[in-house]
Amino acid sequence: MTKEKYNELVQLVQDKSKLTPPLLTYNNYDNWEHKATLARLLNMYGLNYPKYAIELFRDAIAIPLNEKSSDRSSDIDLRAWALRDLSILESQQGDNEQALQHIEQAIDLAESRTDDYEFTIRGNLLMHKFLILCELGQAQEAEALADDMIERYKNAGSKNNSYVFYGNQCKAKLAAKRGKHAEVKEFMLKALDALDNTNEAVAASRTALLSINTAGASAMDLFKEMQQALPDAYHEIVYWDTNCFQDKR
């Protein structure tokens, strides 16, 4: 994308977005993080320009990370986040092969360090891979991924285990596709078991899930209702995956 077009899109966001962050966070054409931020802004707060957003994300991830950065973990966190958002957009546009490639890059980056990240939840990345595999018709590979997420990390010793949390959601979605109402509820409750049960949001979620009647609605509608009842992974869970990487390398 040319600098001229980039500046036009910055102006578009300023003129038409319902809400924007400070201009200094997305107006620098030469900064890959600014390009990623602008890409997101073009697809939120009342704007819907996915093709421009994809172009910007691809430009952003083509810029190498600074290997000598003093804040390497933050750089990896932000890059994995950008790759995930690009992958989601590509999948929504029907380009699932590219989407799979980019979510795998995000997973590799996120798992290259054991740090806690601010924006990236490792299990969430793997669930996005699971969803793309389903879109590609690779149901067997998708189920194997979900099983691996649960089996490999089930004894990791983390109070908030994103692999098991999201792995069980993947299994619940597969059960929903097969019309197995009881299994949907079973896997959703197992997803909660991967979280710190002293957390008030987790306890409230468990109460909500237990109260949901599995009769009547379709299995997929049940899955959606129960997924909405789960805790907000980005705001109600303080930390993820502590100890998950011990003895996994």
pLDDT of residue 161: 96
pLDDT of residue 243: 78
With a cut of 80, say whether residue 68 has pLDDT above it.
no
Cα 132 to its chain centre, rounded Å, is 12
Instruction: Give the start-to-end residue ranges of the domains of the chain.
Output: 1-63+72-117, 137-233
Q: In whole angstroms, give the CA distance from residue 186 to residue 133.
A: 23
- Top pLDDT among 115 and 43 is at 43
Encode pLDDT of 14-57 as tens digits: 999 998 889 999 999 999 999 999 999 999 999 999 999 999 99
With a cut of 50, say whether residue 136 has pLDDT above it.
yes
Closest CA to 108 of 141, 68, 76, 137: 76
Q: Which CATH architecture has domain 1-63+72-117?
A: Alpha Horseshoe (1.25)
With a cut of 70, say whether residue 246 has pLDDT above it.
no
3 state SS for 159-225: CCCHHHHHHHHHHHHHHHHCCCHHHHHHHHHHHHHCCCCCCHHHHHHHHHHHHCCCCCCCHHHHHHH
Closest CA to 114 of 233, 235, 247: 247
- Top pLDDT among 102 and 68 is at 102
- Specify the pTM: 0.93
With a cut of 90, say whether residue 245 has pLDDT above it.
no
Encode pLDDT of 171-199 as tens digits: 999 999 999 999 999 999 999 999 999 99
* 141 membership: H or E segment, kind and range: helix 139-153
Q: In whole angstroms, give the CA distance from residue 40 to residue 167.
A: 27
